[in-house]
Each structure stands twice: as C-alpha cells, then as structure tokens.
Structure 1
C-alpha cells in the first residue's frame, strides 16, 4: 500500500514507519523539516530508503502547508493515512496551541484525506479521553465532563470530529495508554511518563553516590495504584492489524489487560538502577516530607492524576481483533518490566 503518516519522527511514528516499510509498504511522511528524518534513515537498511517519500508540511497550516502540485500528485495515490501527530503538553498556558494541533490539525488531516481520495484513516488518540472517570469504554466519551488537562480534552474533541467523517472516509481510532519501550529490547526514544520517574530516580542515585551519606529519598507515588503501561511494539501490532482488519467506525484500546501496580514498577526501577535508597510513599504522608524531598517531587507533580488513579479499560473490540488475527495479547511480567528499565539505562 501507499500510506501517509503524520508524526513520523516521533517515538511511536518512527516505530510504525519501520514496521510498515518492512512489510513492503511505501510510506509518505508529513514532516516540517527533512533534517528530522536523519535518525529514521539511519535506523533503516539502505535498501528500504526508496520506500520513503517525504511530504513537507505542517499541521498548523491550511491544507497542512503542502504545495498544491504535491497535493495533486497524492490524489488517488494514498490508500490509508495514520494520523499519529499530536502535541503532548499538560501546560495550561499552552492550551490554545494544544487545541490548534490536536483538534484543528486533525481537521486539516481529515480534509486532506478527502481531497486526495484516501480510503482509510486511522487516528491515534489516547486512552485518557475519559477525563476523571475510572472506567474507559471503547466508545466516544462525552466532551461535557471534567478533564485532567487540555491535552486529554483536545484529544476527546478530536475523536468526535474523526467519527463525524464516517460517511466520507473509512475511519477508526486506536487509543494507546502510557507507551513505554519495546517489550523485547527495552529500547525507547521518549522522555515522558515512566521515563520521567526513571530520570528522577537516576538523578537521586547520582546525588547519593556523590554525598555518600546513606540518605533515603521518598517519592510521592501510590504503591497499590496501577499504571497502564503498554510496550511500543504492542501498540504497533494493533496499528498494523487495524490497517488490514480494523472495522470502520470502531475504537480500539491499546491498553494493558493486567497493568502492574506502581509498587511492582518501582521494584523493577530499584533493581534495574541498582539503587535501594529511594522509596515511594502515599500522598497522605506528603506533610512528612522534608523541604528537600518536596522539591525533588516537583517534577512528578504533572503525573499526579495518573499515579493516583487506577483505571479499568474495556478491551472487547481489541480482544476480538487479536483473536480474529491469531495475535497474542500483551502479558507483562516482572521480567519485562526490568527489561524496560534496563533499556532506559542503555539509552
């Protein structure tokens, strides 16, 4: 197939490109700058480079900033579009930019899809469009409830927009939870989610090694809360399956059926970083922290709503897709978690 991808230079997009070119597809990558593709080319065999076609453009611009003659070239050539590009920011000061990229940018992609007569559009959203609820269903969530941040809200509105195009395009939505490294290699090219915690613990270890005072550092993380971590290769599997077998108008949760508790995750972090002078404590004990510890916890404040709330995700559509294609579901264990942590250390 000929497949157009937005967000191809991101962590998820890069892995998706690798998968698709290895399956003999031709990929058309919407990028603002060709320089961002250097790392992608370096990680692909030379013989695959000919399958990559660059389309310069920008989600913030009308018609995605693609030149008119290029749009004409794409007309009738593109079989499917993966819209993976998004602006992941929890900063309320960037609310307008978040909506411009995640909502209005999605509208520009949908309009381009119509203009170039693409048959299928797979929209990559997030499992956290459910706002402050604790149960997520594989249906559109209401836009009329409280959201944790503007990012979640913008993605929820974008989902409604995508589904409103069902009479004009074959659209479906894949909702990943918290994406982490490859389950087999541990490799990851991201600094978000789990990796924010890993960076914090790594810095504490360096401080401890320097001070040599045996101090134990406390981080505010609820031990028994589960965090829905999903390896990037599992998400890519679902994205690839949705290209061939995904049902139009359907939402698929790329989530972990048995997510680990924060306690289990932290045990892997302690073992992987070989650092026992750090422990996690409940937010109920926040007043017991020293001023130094409170400062150390500030970088984790942005993840507070995610570290303190266990969410159950319905996966009936996903499980059906996996069963129909004889694809194994995700089974995360302590060994896999440790491999993920060790992958962070290597990188």
Structure 2
C-alpha cells in the first residue's frame, strides 16, 4: 500500500488522482475533515468522483507521532508532500518545525516500518546559490549559508538533510525540487493566489524570473521515479523559466480580464514590503508581502531541468498552454 502525506494540498490531491488511476492502493493522511473538502472537490472537477471513495483516509499529523502509528501499517511506499508554505516571519518557528521535524518523523517511521522507498517533495528554494562564474542553477549547485534565504527555503533545505539521513540508514529515497507549481482547485493558496489576484484586478507586475511547472507533470514524474530503480538522487522539476510579467499576462488572458498595467520596480516592491510590515504590526494581520517575497519577485534565477529529462526522457507541458486548460475546467 502507498501512503501520501499532504493529500489535502495541491500536489498531494493531484497525486492521489494519479495513483488511483494507476490502480494503486492508497492511504492518505488528513488533519481534519474540513481539509479533505478541497481534495474531494478536485476529484469532482476532473470527474473522478468514483475514485475518491477508494482512498483510505487516516486522521493524523506529521508532528503528532501517535497518529502516525496507524498510518504506517502495511505501507511499502511513501510520498511525502506535506509541508507548510509561509513567508511570514511570524510563522518562522512553525514553518521550520513542520517542514524539518515533520520530515524527520516521516523518515523515522519509514525506517521503523521497513518502507521500501520514499519520495520527498522539496522545492527549488532548497537548491543552491550561484557563484559569480555560473549562470544556471542545477541539482549540483552548492547551498551557501552566507546568502540570504527565506525561512521557507531554510526549512526545505533542512528537510532534505533528513532525507539524506534516511538514505545513509538504508532507505531508498528520491527528492523532487519543483519550481512554482501551477494547478487548479486551490485558488486561495500558493500559485492559486496569483490567479485569484489577477481575476480581482491585480495592477502590478514585476520582471523577476523563476521556474514554473504544471502540477500534472510533478505528480507524473514522482510516480515514474518511485516505479524506477533510481534512488539517492534529487531532480529539479520545471517546464521553463518564465518572467513574472509574462506569466501574469497569460493568466489574465486566460481569465479574459485586464492585464496588470504597472511595473513594480525593486524599489517599489521593497517599499510595499515595508508598508506591509507596518500594517501587520499595527493591525496584527498576517504578512502579505515579506522581505523574502519582495526579493523573490524581482530575482532572476535560471534553473535547469536537464537531469530529469535525461533520466526519464520526459517532455514537460507548456505552462502557458496549461494555464488556458485549467481555467477552462
């Protein structure tokens, strides 16, 4: 049987559909019944309602060790998708605890229960930092602790250290490092917020650059890696490197709304981040634009997907076309 953590998130929910379509027996962890509603709605969106009832749900939490005891019974493969994504400095401790300690718990249960293979969903945020003489980030680019990193990036890097510990202790592991994941059904979180903001009349764009990938490609690669003999490796998953401006314009065109009109320079983004900090401290609201988020909006990082393309001979879906597809679901 296969265990999926984070089955109520974008990647985990799409992975559940993919695994069930492949005929796998699947168990998924959920924290509370409300959290499963989006997953069920996603199955309905894809007209896969009949498959949903095949999931064996187990209530649990990656930070609650007693609940994991039941979840790991008779499990031979684990897809660890659960993570906390936040760039609010006030949530730093919880982000690190969830992503690092939670991953350590999953690793420990895999080792204790003789799980055959573990696939961990990391992020391009956990990849290395380019030295001056290089121009593209690969799986071999070294992490530089002296460079600025978001709390989220640090937590995902720390989680990877737990995965490599598992490898040293005899567990077969693979790590995927997706770029910004585009997919339907979760419009109030992650990349889904980009669609919601554009739909509601987002006025600003930036000229930052990063890697993007369709969620369908992410789950397909994860499944192929787990079925292969490949282990002890990590793979960058991006379809292409895209300028934020172009991505936002594609979203606007697909939604048939106005494109963002104004270029937000690094100076403007930092000023908005400072105003957000003031507002957060005065009104006690959650940060909407942290320093790390502002910085990433104008950073121009290029990522290579050559390793996974060579390993699995995969052809990634064009992100701009995928945006059109999911807005028409």
TM-score (norm 2): 0.81
Q: 2:22 maps to which residue?
A: 23
- Decide whether aligned partners of structure 1 residues 285 and 53 sit closer, same or farther in structure 2, where only a CA change above 3 A counts: closer
Matches within 5 A, 1:122-271: 122-130=119-127, 133=130, 135-139=136-140, 141-142=142-143, 144-166=145-167, 167-181=169-183, 187-204=184-201, 217=203, 219-222=204-207, 225-245=208-228, 247-256=230-239, 258-271=240-253
How many pairs does the alignment contain?
306
Q: 2:59 maps to which residue?
A: 56
Per-residue deviation at 1:329?
2.8
Aligned mates of 1:247, 1:17 — CA distance in 2: 22
SS in structure 1 opposite 2:28?
strand
Q: 2:304 maps to which residue?
A: 314
Which digits, 9 at most, give the CA deviation of each residue in 1:154-180, with x for residues without a partner? 110110121122132001101111011
Q: 1:304 maps to which residue?
A: 294
Contact 2:127–2:142 (8 Å) recurs in 1: yes
Per-residue deviation at 1:276?
3.9
Aligned mates of 2:27, 2:122 — CA distance in 1: 20
Aligned mates of 2:29, 2:289 — CA distance in 1: 33
Which digits, 9 at most, give the CA deviation of each residue in 1:190-238, with x for residues without a partner? 4345443433333337xxxxxxxxxxx5x2512xx33322111011111
Aligned mates of 1:195, 1:159 — CA distance in 2: 25
Which digits, 9 at most, give the CA deviation of each residue in 1:82-122, with x for residues without a partner? 00000101111111111111001100001111111111010
Contact 2:127–2:139 (8 Å) recurs in 1: no
Aligned mates of 2:319, 2:172 — CA distance in 1: 32
Unmatched 5+ residue regions in structure 2? 277-286
Aligned mates of 1:282, 1:193 — CA distance in 2: 20
RMSD: 3.0
- Decide whether aligned partners of structure 1 residues 307 and 267 sit closer, same or farther in structure 2, where only a CA change above 3 A counts: same
Per-residue deviation at 1:138?
1.4
TM-score (norm 1): 0.77
Aligned mates of 1:157, 1:247 — CA distance in 2: 22
Aligned mates of 1:148, 1:262 — CA distance in 2: 20
Aligned mates of 2:180, 2:59 — CA distance in 1: 29
Q: 1:13 maps to which residue?
A: 12
Unmatched 5+ residue regions in structure 1? 182-186, 206-216
Aligned mates of 1:47, 1:277 — CA distance in 2: 38
Contact 1:251–1:317 (8 Å) recurs in 2: no
Q: In terms of Rg, which structure is larger?
A: 1
Aligned mates of 2:124, 2:260 — CA distance in 1: 30
- Decide whether aligned partners of structure 1 residues 106 and 202 sit closer, same or farther in structure 2, where only a CA change above 3 A counts: same
- Decide whether aligned partners of structure 1 residues 276 and 19 sit closer, same or farther in structure 2, where only a CA change above 3 A counts: closer
Per-residue deviation at 1:245?
1.7
Contact 1:162–1:171 (8 Å) recurs in 2: yes
Aligned mates of 1:39, 1:269 — CA distance in 2: 22
